[in-house]
Structure 1
Amino acid sequence: MYDFAVVGVGPAGARFAREAATAGYDVIAFERGTVGTPLACSGHVSTDIWEYVPDEKKAELRQNEIHGARFHVGGPQTDSHPFYKREAVSNVIDRVDLDKTLSTAAQECGADVREEHTVTDINEKHSGVTLTVSHGEGEEKFHARMVAGCDGPISRVRRQSGLPEPHELLHGVLAFDSTVDNADFVDVHLTAPQFFAWRIPRGKAGVEYGLAAPPSESVPELFDQLTDTYNVKTEQFCSGAIPIGPPNRIHTRRVFLIGDAAAQTKPFTGGGILYGMTAADAAAATIEPDDPATLRDYDQAWREELSSEIALGRWIRRAYSLPPVVQQAGLRALSGEIAVHMDRPSSLFSRDQLRALVGR
């Protein structure tokens, strides 16, 4: 019997597998396809990502450095409001290779990672969990003391365990233009209902265009409007759900959720790579596979780390639905050099940010 079975080997699953294996636990991890594919989300992340990546992989993964963002209430022809830092505020990375890198790191620490293995059923009992797994040679049963559900926004683990859904699922789309662009600003358009659209320069990898909105909206049509305003044709179109708002309960007696499966994401951007890996570290530090009571310790630990940031992120997101004239006035008043961290809304109230505002 394994100590932990991990379902899903994205950043959160790979990170938990690595840390649990490093702690001496027997870990098996299942990925239904090939790690890193298909592409699921943007690769625009804060510089904190390098704390989780081997030093020798940094140059290979980094595609561009970003120093700021231009906010538009309309399309690219409208007035823009720049927010920037003198040092890099974020990086654009190879999102597919990130997953592969984190998976390799987990394997090097002793985790057994199996690709092309789809978990089709979970049977939780008092003393452990039996997983039914389908792969190229048929179907197989695996037994583990605990299961980590890291299988994304439409989580099979979450649903089969009877855990509640995220408060909201947005529909996100993105695609790429092959034009080389080494610019160091992203463009954010407050044109998508209740969310936004974006343009991210990715250096030699081209330009990423994306958009997210509630699924009731015509997201593909809105995306076409975005790319039409830039007069570009895109390829490698990707589409998926973005979970917003973690539920009140993310574990049973033997099953727990991490990452997008638990909606551990930023409400104001939808990004979940850093939040998911932060929660993965909390899980590895607190959960003992022979003691289900430690799942409460995990739930408390990750919420202490992230719940305030998520709550503040909800308030920021509300600004996306303000009348355009109010958005313009707010952006005009606040734009300029900043001292905030893109993953931590609480930094909006830091002394450094106050000094940046006063010093303008």
Structure 2
Amino acid sequence: MYDFVVVGAGPAGSRFSRRAAERRYDVLTLERGTVGEPLACSGHVSTDIWEFAPDGARAELLQNEVYGARFHVGGPGSDDYPFYKREVVSNVIDRVGLDRLLAEAAREAGADLREDHSVTAVDEKRDRVEVTASTPDGTETFEARMVAGCDGPVSRVRSELGLPDPGEKLQGVLAFAEDDDPGDYVDVHLTAPRFFAWRIPRGEAGVEYGLAAPPGSEPSAKALFEEFTAGYDVETVDFCAGMIPVGPAETVTGRRGFLLGDAAAQTKPFTGGGILYGMTAADHAAREIDPERPSTLRDYEDAWRDDLSTEIRLGHWIRRAYSLPESVQHAGLSAFSGEIGVHMDKPTSFFSKEHLRKLLSGS
């Protein structure tokens, strides 16, 4: 019997697998396809990513360094409001490569990571959990003391455990243009209903264009995306789409199971990004959960919420600004644009001494 069966080998799943294996737990990790495929997430991340990645990852994965963002109330060609730092704010990385490096680190730590294993059922028993997966050779059932659902926004584990869905899901779409662009700024357009569209320079790797909107919106997210990229007069390739969960439910733990990452909606409400939040929660899970003591699931629940709930709550307030009247958006962006002291993963940094000092010096 395994200590943990981890379902999903994205950043949160691989991070937890690695940390749990380093603690000498017997870990089986199941990935439904090939690690990193298909791509369904942006590669724009804070520089904190390297604290979670294996040694040498930066040299292998880095595509561009970003110093700030230009915010637009309208589409391409509209006036912009720059927000910037004098040092690097964020990095653009090879997103598929990140997943593969994190998965390999989990394997090296001792996790048994198997690709092409699609989980079809999860059954919580009194003393164990049974996880059934479709494999290249048929169907196989694995027993473990606990199961970790790290299988994305449409989580099979969440459904099988009867855990509540995230508060909201957005439809995200993205694609790439092949232009060489080493630009210092990302562009953010407050044009999508209740969210935004983006343009991210990726150096020699091209340019990423993306957009997210509520599912069922009219026009659709894909139609909005086509209108957005037409405004930039570009042809894109490698179009992909996926759901973005926003707002964790009141619980992400069951009797012998728990959720991590997008499955738990451990994401930033104001950007939809969840790589850092998911891996932060994974570290809490590996530290707090004893697979032989189901009561420790409560310790995990408390730990990750103590760490991230304030950031998530403030992130919801930031997102509300996306739906303000355009005149108010113009006024607010004009008032606050310029040099900043904000961390892209931490809304609480808006109230930091560094940021307040930047605001006052620019006034």
TM range (shorter): over 0.9
Q: Residue 87 of structure 1 aligns with which residue?
A: 87
Counterpart for residue 98 of structure 2: 98
Q: Which residue of 2 aligns with 1:295?
A: 297
CA displacement at 1:59 relative to structure 2: 1.1
Matches within 5 A, 1:40-189: 40-189=40-189
Given the alignment, which residue of 326, 329, 334 partners 2:328?
Answer: 326
Q: Which runs of 5+ in 2 are unaligned?
A: none
Name the SS for the 2:35 alignment partner.
Answer: coil
Equivalent residue for 1:355? 357
CA distance in 2 between partners of 1:150 and 1:193 (Å) = 28
- State the 1:99 CA deviation: 0.2
Residue 249 of structure 1 deviates from its aligned partner by 1.2
| Residue in structure 2 matched with residue 207 of structure 1 by the alignment | 207
1:15 CA displacement: 0.1
Shift of residue 57, structure 1, vs aligned partner: 2.0
In the alignment, residue 195 of structure 1 is paired with which amino acid?
Answer: F
Q: CA deviation at 1:133?
A: 1.3
Identify the residue that residue 252 of structure 1 maps to in structure 2.
254
Distance 2:142 2:31 in 1: 14
Cα deviations by residue, 1:218-237 (Å, 9 ceiling, x for unpaired): 11110011001000010100
Residue matched to 2:10: 10
Structural RMSD (CA): 0.5
Distance, in Å, in 1 between the alignment partners of 2:230 and 2:329 is 23
Q: 1:212-231 to 2 correspondence within 5 Å?
A: 212-217=212-217, 218-231=220-233
Deviations 1:12-49 (A, max 9, x none): 00000000000010000000000000001000000000
Q: Tell me the secondary structure at the aligned position of residue 314 of structure 2.
A: helix
Give the partner amino acid of 2:306: E
Work out the CA distance in 1 between the residues paired with 2:114 and 2:54.
21
What is the Cα deviation at residue 160 of structure 1?
Answer: 0.8
Map 1:273-284 onto structure 2 (within 5 A): 273-284=275-286
- Confirm or deny: 8 A CA contact 2:152 2:261 kept in the other structure: yes
**How much does 1:75 deviate?**
1.3
Equivalent residue in structure 1 for 2:337, among 331, 335, 338: 335
For the 8 Å contact 2:50–2:57, the answer to whether it is kept is no
Partner of 1:345: 347
**Counterpart residue number, 2:267:** 265
Instruction: Report how far residue 185 of structure 1 moved.
Output: 0.3
User: Aligned partners of 1:112 and 1:340: how far apart in 2?
Assistant: 39
CA distance in 2, matches of 1:18, 1:158: 22
Q: Which is worse superposed, 212-221 or 305-314?
A: 212-221
What is the number of residues matched between the two proteins?
360
Cα deviation 1:256-289 (Å, max 9, x = unaligned): 0000000000000000000000000000000000
Separation (CA, whole Å) in 1 of partners of 2:97 and 2:179: 21
Q: Matched residues, percent identical?
A: 66
Number of the residue aligned with 1:25:
25
2-structure distance, mates of 1:53, 1:222: 35
1: CA distance, partners of 2:95 / 2:308 = 23
Please state how far the C-alpha of 1:76 moved relative to its aligned partner. 2.1
Aligned match of 2:314: 312
What is the Cα deviation at residue 55 of structure 1? 2.5
Alpha-carbon shift at residue 193 of structure 1 (Å): 0.5
Which has the larger displacement, 142-151 or 46-55?
A: 46-55
Partner in structure 2 of residue 232 of structure 1: 234
TM-score of the superposed pair, with normalisation by structure 2: 0.99
Q: Distance in 2 between matches of 1:83 and 1:55?
A: 31
